[in-house]
């Protein structure tokens, strides 16, 4: 029988560290529930000691998400480890993941610690984590640029202190497959040794485009856990792509000789959710989940596909969750809309259904046909909207080559309807300026993205914005055929979150 390969997903920790991603607790919980449906084995829910928000998210996931092991990252620092345990202790199965840098450049330039001090911190950190749980993972950060002998000595010390998983990170995406296999082989034989229960793990970054290749190659060296993120998101060029690992193992079982527990039919839905909530689009030619992953335009390819799908497809689209398209039109009523949602296995509460239907009719009047992708975008936007302190009622924009762009917005708050005007460098900029006046808060726009959801001249676009206020980031999103109008709704969504935080902190100070 094949060995079990553990799928460790770090979308909510390392993935969220990508620039411009600002997930709140509810969004992290939604992704965690979907990862549980995908049946990953471990969810690294966050870095509990990094902020109160991350602690809250890790705690909620530990309490509410069942199935996977719930882990929190921690430095080899007592407070980090204590905080991690406080967050994950609620889970049915938990893990503390401690790390410490072992490369010369990290020890000298970043930690300002001697090798002896690093070794001692690892011994104490792992032992402290093990005093809380019998599931402790240790990672020597920047392992592939470390002195192998020193890194292996640290790993041996971690095992002696109680680590049950040794994770070898290619932190900066520096390794090649042959180098990584050689290193993992030494870890397996010299650091793991006779401790057969200790799992060897990989954590590879994609700076040279080798993250998946390095991770898969390590299986031959005894690795039985692979860490990755959905859609390969993460710092710089990102992480190993969780879905690519899953489908590589499932498609080429003959090569890898390991088994996984993942439900591959949840891959596309998981990818869509992560893309929507993070605001990071999936490139069209992305393996497994990209728009073109199962598209065929070449005449020769189409001819072969008509004869037999397997002539040009090594994976069945249905195996990863791609389904046949559903199309509705402006004449479709509630029954047709509800039936389409049912076929897509989407369930909405009455209020959300009415809001989604209203949005559907509005967009159908503009573009005629609404595809399944459109429907998903409508539902995603509707179900993700928070209760609004300030509601955008209407807007008017004007601009041109010889006219300074201007915007007028009408908003509703506390039963009052107010109007604000502003000028800007463009119509979107002018609209944002007017909305900032309406909210009266000092929020700075730090990211703005427009991503087409569907094709054609009447395509719907998903608009993502991130604003920063008081050192915190707040993300807003919308879907629309009108980029300016959609941008305004996304900006309002983000500003409402920022305004709600201001109110919450003010109430807290008064109560204190």
List phi, psi (to 5°) of 192: -75, -45
Cα distance between residue 436 and residue 432, in whole Å: 6
- As a whole number of angstroms, the distance between CA 118 and CA 97 comes to 17
DSSP string over 390-435: SEEEEEEEEEETTEEEEEEEEEEETTEEEEEEEE-SSHHHHHHHHH
Measured between alpha carbons, how far is 87 from 70 in angstroms, rounded to an integer? Answer: 10
pLDDT band at 454 (very low <50, low <70, confident <90, very high): low
Q: Using an 8 Å Cβ cutoff, are 377 and 453 in contact?
A: yes
Distances (CA, A) of 180 to 98, 128, 204: 21, 30, 10
Q: Which residues pair with 201 in a beta bridge?
A: 167, 225
How far apart are alpha carbons 497 and 502 in whole angstroms?
Answer: 9
Say whether pLDDT at 378 is over 70: yes
Q: What DSSP designation does 93 have? A: S
Whether 77 and 47 have beta carbons less than 8 Å apart is answered as no
Find the largest Cα–Cα distance for the chain. 77
Concatenating the DSSP letter of every residue in 58-89 gives: HHHHHHH--SSEEEEEEESSHHHHHHHHHHHT
Q: Where are the alpha helices (DSSP H) in 233-323?
A: 242-251, 253-256, 267-278, 299-307
> In 3D, which of 182, 187, 249, 183 has the Cα closest to residue 212?
249
| Cβ atoms within 10 Å of 87's Cβ, excluding its own | 30
Backbone φ and ψ for 263, nearest 5 degrees, come out as -90, 100
**69-75 vs 42-46, strand pairing mode:** parallel
290-309 confidence digits (pLDDT tens): 877 776 444 444 445 445 55
Mean pLDDT highest for which of 21-30, 203-212, 412-421, 483-492? 203-212
- CA dist., res. 128 & res. 202, Å (int): 23
Q: What would the pLDDT profile of 178-202 be if each residue is shown by its tens digit?
A: 999 999 999 999 999 889 999 999 9
2: pLDDT strictly greater than 70: no
- Average pLDDT estimate for 474-492: 88
Q: Report the alpha-carbon distance of residue 113 to residue 105 in Å, rounded.
A: 11
Three-state secondary-structure class, residue 9? strand
Which residue has better confidence, 23 or 84? 84
Mean pLDDT score, 113-130: 97
Q: What is the mean pLDDT of residues 136-158?
A: 98
The pTM score is 0.79
Residue 458 has pLDDT above 70, yes or no: no
Residue predicted with more confidence, 255 or 474: 255
- Give the pairing of strands 369-370 and 3-4: unpaired
Alpha carbons 158 and 165: distance in angstroms, whole number: 9
What is the helix (H) or strand (E) element at residue 369, kind and residue range? strand 369-370
Query: What is the H or E stretch that residue 138 is in?
Result: strand 136-141
DSSP 297-312: -SHHHHHHHHH-GGGT
pLDDT band per the 50, 70, 90 thresholds, residue 267: very high
Among 246, 291, 257, CA closest to 272? 291
Mean pLDDT of 156-185: 97
- Residue 162 Cα distances to 37, 117, 391, angstroms: 31, 19, 54
- pLDDT (average), residues 82-89: 98
Identify the pLDDT of residue 297: 44
Q: Which two structure tokens, joined as six digits, stand for 90? A: 């609620």
CB atoms within 10 A of CB 318: 13
Q: Which of 228, 225, 253 is nearest to 243 (CA)?
A: 228
Angle, alpha carbons 268-381-231 (nearest 5°): 30
Within 8 A by CB and 6+ apart from 224, the residues are 3, 4, 5, 6, 199, 200, 201, 258
Find tokens 């509800």 and name the residue. 338
């Amino acid at each position: 029988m094949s060995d079990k390969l553990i799928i460790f997903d770090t979308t909510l920790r390392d993935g969220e560290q990508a620039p411009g991603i600002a997930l709140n607790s509810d969004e992290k919980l939604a992704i965690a529930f979907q990862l549980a449906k995908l049946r990953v084995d471990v969810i690294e829910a966050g870095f509990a000691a990094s902020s109160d928000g991350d602690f809250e998210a890790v705690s909620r996931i530990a309490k509410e998400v069942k199935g996977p092991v719930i882990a929190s990252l921690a430095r080899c620092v007592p407070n980090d480890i204590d905080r991690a345990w406080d967050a994950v202790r609620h889970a049915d199965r938990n893990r503390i993941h401690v790390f410490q840098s072992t490369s010369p450049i990290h020890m000298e330039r970043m930690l300002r610690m001697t090798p002896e001090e690093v070794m001692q911190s690892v011994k104490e950190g792992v032992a402290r984590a093990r005093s809380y749980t019998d599931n402790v993972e240790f990672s020597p950060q920047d392992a592939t640029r470390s002195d192998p002998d020193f890194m292996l000595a640290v790993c041996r010390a971690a095992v002696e202190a109680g680590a049950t998983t040794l994770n070898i990170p290619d932190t900066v995406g520096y390794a090649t497959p042959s180098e990584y296999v050689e290193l993992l082989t030494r870890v397996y034989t010299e650091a793991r040794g006779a401790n057969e229960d200790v799992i060897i793990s990989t954590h590879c970054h994609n700076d040279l485009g080798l993250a998946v290749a390095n991770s898969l190659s390590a299986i031959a060296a005894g690795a039985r856990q692979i860490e990755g993120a959905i859609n390969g998101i993460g710092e710089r060029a990102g992480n190993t792509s969780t879905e690519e690992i899953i489908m590589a193992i499932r498609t080429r079982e003959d090569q890898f000789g390991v088994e996984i527990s993942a439900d591959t039919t949840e891959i596309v839905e998981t990818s869509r959710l992560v893309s929507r909530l993070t605001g990071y689009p999936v490139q069209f030619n992305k393996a497994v989940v990209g728009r073109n992953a199962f598209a065929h335009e070449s005449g020769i390819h189409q001819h072969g596909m008509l004869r037999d799908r397997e002539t040009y497809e090594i994976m069945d689209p249905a195996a990863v969750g791609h389904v046949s398209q559903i199309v509705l039109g402006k004449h479709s009523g509630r029954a047709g809309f509800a039936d389409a949602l049912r076929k897509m296995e989407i369930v909405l509460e009455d209020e959300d259904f009415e809001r989604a239907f209203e949005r559907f009719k509005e967009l159908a009047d503009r573009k005629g046909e609404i595809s399944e992708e459109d429907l998903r975008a409508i539902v995603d936007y509707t179900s993700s909207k928070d209760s609004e302190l300030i509601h955008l009622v209407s807007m008017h924009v004007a601009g041109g080559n010889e006219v300074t762009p201007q915007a007028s917005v009408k908003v509703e708050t506390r039963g009052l309807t107010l109007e604000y005007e502003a000028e800007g460098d463009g119509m979107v900029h002018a609209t944002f300026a007017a909305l900032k006046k309406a909210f009266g808060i000092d929020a700075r726009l730090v990211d703005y993205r427009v991503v087409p959801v569907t094709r054609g001249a009447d395509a719907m676009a998903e608009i993502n914005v991130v604003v920063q206020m008081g050192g915190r980031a707040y993300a807003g999103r919308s879907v629309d055929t009108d980029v300016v109008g959609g941008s305004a709704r996304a900006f309002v969504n983000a500003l409402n979150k920022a305004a709600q935080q201001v109110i919450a902190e003010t109430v807290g100070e008064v109560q204190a």
